[in-house]
Amino acid sequence: MAVMVEITQSTATADADLADALAHDVSAHINELYPKAEKERANEPIFQAQLTRYACGGLVIGTACHHQGADVHRRPRMITGISSSRASSSSHSYGVLPMDRIKNLAVHFPDEFVADLKARVGTRCSTFQCLRSHAGEKITAARDLAPDDFTQVRVAVNCRGRPTPPVPRDFFGNMVLWAFPRMQVRDLLSSSYPVVVSAIRDAVALVDDEYIQSFIDFGGAERGVIEDGGEELASTAATPGTMFCPDLDSWLGFRFHDLDFGCGPPCAFLPPDLPIEGIMIFVPSCDAKGGVDLFMALDDEHVQAFKQICYSMD
């Protein structure tokens, strides 16, 4: 199998410092820091990287990776491995919406806010579990859905440790399946945090050894169908403009600060603009006081309502 890798390099303007860029509205120019794929061949490159050097000497590395090459849990290890090779090398080379209605925004949750959320849950829970319960409730309220409607959260589940025997943590490839916690809107908005966290945990627990094996078996059967001249499965990947309800991902456990290309660990790690409404990504904050940043894409009609209630714990 041929693997296509593209590396492009660009240079920032001479009077731009990285600290200034991070201190201001990063989202206004974030897409300039990521590699651009030509639409007619967007699915060809497995991995792309763009290097942007700032006048102060700071370096921004923007990457794009096809999910057939690596899932979101393997990708950080892959990038870390690339940076590690530098240290060992002897080389010294240095619903569909119109796109204009999808607004990207960032919300900062300080450590104190996260601690208060965990205290309200009452039982032991991870930072991601309490924040995804909170964010899922607030985005549902901002969308002003009917009480009788059902809403669900699509949660990416890293399956490496779930089969029997478990898959090695360093397995290269895609080992993510989705869990779909589902509640009626009136129940979600009226339930306590422990109830919502429990509903998410129960849905994730269903992605067990038997469930994972069924996907593996189905994949093997599908390959046989294709070899016999049958049709391939249709892709379920979302197209730009799609509306999720919502789709939550956590980058909180990724070891991005293990990266070192010779100038120290990164001072920030930021996703690009998200073209699919409802995608929400939790990232360790680059703020000196810590906390968590939530990057999300939301229908412009719901942005103001979400901003007004995103810090409310009522």
For position 1, what pLDDT does the model report? 39
Domain identity same for 118 and 261: yes
Report yes or no on 91 lying in a domain.
Answer: no
Q: Is the pLDDT of residue 123 over 50?
A: yes
Domain identity same for 195 and 260: yes
DSSP labels for the chain? ----EEEEEEE--TT--HHHHHHS-GGGTGGGGSPPPPGGGTTS-SEEEEEEE-TTS-EEEEEEE-TTT--TTTHHHHHHHHHHHHHH-------B--GGGEEEEEEEE-HHHHHHHHHHH-S---HHHHHHHHHHHHHHHHTT--TT-EEE-EEEEE-TTSSSSPPPTT--S--EEEE--EEEHHHHHHS-HHHHHHHHHHHHHTS-HHHHHHHHHHHHHHHHHHHTTPPPPPP-PPPTTBEEEEEEEE-TT--GGG--SSS-S-S--------SEEEEEEEE--STT--EEEEEEEEHHHHHHHHHHTT---
Strands across the sheet containing 102-109 = 102-109, 292-299, 277-284, 243-250, 154-158, 176-179
Find the mean pLDDT for residues 283-287: 84
Comparing 38 with 303, the larger pLDDT belongs to: 303
For position 239, what pLDDT does the model report? 60
pTM: 0.66
Q: Is the pLDDT of residue 294 over 50?
A: yes
Last residue of a domain, one of 19, 43, 66: 66
For position 312, what pLDDT does the model report? 92
Torsion of CA 151, 152, 153, 155, to 10 degrees: 180
Domain identity same for 27 and 136: no
Q: Is the pLDDT of residue 313 over 50?
A: yes
Average pLDDT score over the chain? 79
How many CB atoms within 10 Å of residue 124? 7
Instruction: Give the residue numbers annotated as catalytic, written as ranges.
Output: 67, 260
Report yes or no on 74 lying in a domain.
Answer: no
- Confidence grade of residue 248 (pLDDT, cut at 50, 70, 90): confident
Domain identity same for 105 and 248: yes
Domain identity same for 15 and 129: no
Q: Is the pLDDT of residue 84 over 70?
A: no
- Confidence grade of residue 155 (pLDDT, cut at 50, 70, 90): confident
Written as six digits, the tokens of 268 are 């920030």
Domain identity same for 221 and 265: yes
- Confidence grade of residue 8 (pLDDT, cut at 50, 70, 90): very low
Report yes or no on 264 lying in a domain.
Answer: yes
How many CB atoms within 10 Å of residue 62? 20
| Number of domains, the chain | 2
Domain identity same for 202 and 261: yes
Comparing 67 with 262, the larger pLDDT belongs to: 262
Find the mean pLDDT for residues 155-165: 88
Find the mean pLDDT for residues 75-100: 63
Lowest mean pLDDT among 42-51, 59-68, 76-85, 239-248: 239-248
Q: Is the pLDDT of residue 237 over 70?
A: no
Spatial separation of the C-alpha atoms in residues 71 and 55, rounded to whole Å: 33
CA 171, distance to chain mean position in Å, is 19
Domain identity same for 247 and 289: yes
Report yes or no on 140 lying in a domain.
Answer: yes
Q: Which residue range forms the structural domain that includes residue 34?
A: 5-66
Q: What percent of the chain has pLDDT over 70?
A: 77
Amino acid at 79: I
Domain identity same for 26 and 164: no
- Confidence grade of residue 198 (pLDDT, cut at 50, 70, 90): very high
Report yes or no on 82 lying in a domain.
Answer: no
